[in-house]
Amino acid sequence: MSIQPHGAEAEALALDEIRTFLSVMATAVRDTLGQFEQTTARVIDLAVMRLGRPDRDLVVTLQTFDRLQQEFATLADVLNLAAGKSRESWLRGAGNGHPAEDAIAQVSIGALKERLLRDLRGAAGLMLAAEPEEVVF
């Protein structure tokens, strides 16, 4: 028979498991990203060899691949940032930011940042402060 922790001890264990999970997921994303980059490079090589000079549609598609690669790398960074936060920081206190907000604030890709914030605001149980809207005079 095992003794189940209660209260603060149980909460600390759960947060440690979440941090470990986030760290493992970030590593998996980075590994997958490496394979994605190798595959993209190979597709480019094959396309250039076959066509001599790639057409516009191929160039646009490859630019989309590049954007996706940047988003994957950013998501891995967000996971690593969140995983590196202390247990205490995940317990929102008066006037303290939340690790999810802190991690997403580091995202430099505007569309990805907006999508992450929108999805987190809509998720049950995680209420992020809404960013003030820009006022145009």
Residue 46 placed within a domain? yes
Residues 40-90 have pLDDT tens digits of 888 878 777 777 776 788 778 888 888 888 898 899 888 888 888 877 777
More confident residue, 10 or 93: 10
Residues ≥6 apart with Cβ < 8 Å to 88: none
More confident residue, 124 or 96: 96
Residue 6 placed within a domain? no
Q: What is the pTM of this model?
A: 0.67
Residue 3 placed within a domain? no
Q: What letter represents residue 18's amino acid? A: I
Residues 3-53 have pLDDT tens digits of 666 777 877 777 777 888 888 888 888 888 888 888 888 887 877 777 777
User: Structurally, how many domains does the chain consist of?
Assistant: 1
The percent helix, strand, coil of the chain (3-state, each to 5) is: 70, 0, 30
Residue 137 placed within a domain? no
For residue 118, give its domain range: 11-122
Residue 65 placed within a domain? yes
Q: Checking phi first, is residue 38 left (phi over 0); if not, alpha (psi -120 to 50) or beta?
A: alpha
Residue 108 placed within a domain? yes
Residue 130 placed within a domain? no
